[in-house]
Amino acid sequence: MTEDAAPIREKADDEIPASPRRSDRSRLLDWVLGQLYRAIPGFERVYARQLLGTKVHIERVKVGMPTWSASSNRIAIAHLSDIHLGPIVGRRSIAHLLDQVAARRPDVVCLTGDYVNHRPEEIERYEGLLDRVKPRLGTFAVLGNHDHYAGKGERIARFLESQGVQVLTNRNVTLETPAGPLQIAGLDDLHYGSPNFDDALEGTDASHPRILLSHHPDAFPEAKRRGVDLVLSGHTHGGQICLPWIGPILKHSRHGYHGGYFQEDGSHLFVSRGLGAVVLPIRFRCAAHVGWIECWPSPVRPRRPITRREQKPVAFKSL
């Protein structure tokens, strides 16, 4: 079984937030390097070329929804996270990737935070960008830590709403799908937001599938305790740099949810390794990552580990 697919048992269910906030020194280094990258003409192409060498993995996961009837069709969710559009990641590269996602015709798009890197005005680079993917049932989002400590989480949320994205900050919506009702809830960032599980799940019906969007994957133990069917998260970047025999250098999940698919006690978690990078414009042995989540009526076949050969690469480059 691959590391990403292996179930991880949490240390304790009530430890939220599960890891400390980034130190001011770390954030300052990130900001200073960001200014340096901005000063280098064409720097965005450096990251695009580096990604082109590793590809972007679209990982397909089947999740069973036990309350849907056996005659139901599947609902496909494209899950993107941690784009960090800014001094490292270019708009044209993301446009190219979104075109690849749109070609797969998802029913729903879920975005789990960190749209910007350092500055709130970076969100304006998304003008018209998300229109490239027009899912049949809508696009839904939550904010991440960078969206908050860039200084203007509310500004970023308003902009996303103006682009047709529903930002679910501690609230939920119910979609009427061909498979049956599907409830999507959103939780604010564990560290820099004001997360409230009660508000996020208020009014939801446990007899219908519930999906929770949470930037930080360490919300999963509490979501699992509350009977949430599926949690979609990001934040970890998969470690961004993964060394042989050592694994991820950056371990942002205290429970070991560093990237990929996990199943525990009937609940499911998918952690995107993200698309962008922070501090250093490098991803090593940790390709950028898009989730393709197929929700089917239960039972579905138990998921076996996905081999490297079966992961579908998508060419990723600056146009």
CA dihedral 23, 223, 136, 298 (to 10 degrees): 140
Q: What is the pLDDT of residues 186-233, one digit of tens each?
A: 999 998 899 999 999 999 999 999 999 999 999 999 999 999 999 999
What proportions of the chain, in percent to the nearest 5, are helix, strand and coil? Answer: 25, 25, 50
Beta bridge partners of 10: none
Name the pLDDT band for 251 (thresholds 50, 70, 90). confident
Report how far apart, in Å, the C-alpha atoms of 286 and of each of 93, 240, 253 are: 18, 6, 16
With beta carbons less than 8 A apart as the criterion, state whether 31 and 299 touch: no
Q: What is the pLDDT of residues 111-165, one digit of tens each?
A: 999 999 878 888 999 999 999 999 999 999 999 998 997 667 889 999 999 999 9
Beta bridge partners of 141: 111, 167
Backbone torsion region of residue 256, taken as left when φ is above 0, otherwise alpha when ψ lies between -120 and 50, otherwise beta: left
- What angle is formed at CA 67 by the lines to CA 64 and CA 68, rounded to 5 degrees? 75
List Cβ neighbours of 177 (8 Å cut-off, separation of 6 or more). Answer: 75, 107, 137
DSSP character string of 122-150: GGGGGTTTGGG---SS-EEEE--HHHHHT
pTM of the predicted structure, to 2 decimals: 0.83
What letter represents residue 213's amino acid? L
For the ranges 99-113, 196-210, 235-249, the lowest mean pLDDT is seen at 235-249
How far apart are alpha carbons 267 and 233 in whole angstroms? 14
Model pLDDT, residue 284: 79
Q: What is the largest CA-CA distance in the chain?
A: 57
Considering the chain, what percentage of its residues have pLDDT values greater than 90?
47
State whether residue 222 is helix, strand or coil: helix
Report how far apart, in Å, the C-alpha atoms of 49 and of each of 66, 84, 92 are: 43, 17, 12
Whether pLDDT at 51 is above 70: no
Nearest to 57 by CA among 251, 231, 256, 316: 316
What letter represents residue 34's amino acid? G
What letter represents residue 136's amino acid? R
Beta bridge partners of 166: 140
- When the pLDDT of each residue in the chain is averaged and rounded to a whole number, the result is 81
How far apart are alpha carbons 180 and 213 in whole angstroms? 19
For the ranges 71-85, 145-159, 227-241, the lowest mean pLDDT is seen at 145-159
Report how far apart, in Å, the C-alpha atoms of 271 and of each of 41, 219, 235, 243, 303 are: 33, 11, 8, 19, 16
Whether pLDDT at 55 is above 90: no
Buried b / exposed e over 242-265, threshold 16 CB at 10 Å, is beeeeebeeebbbbbbbbbbbbee
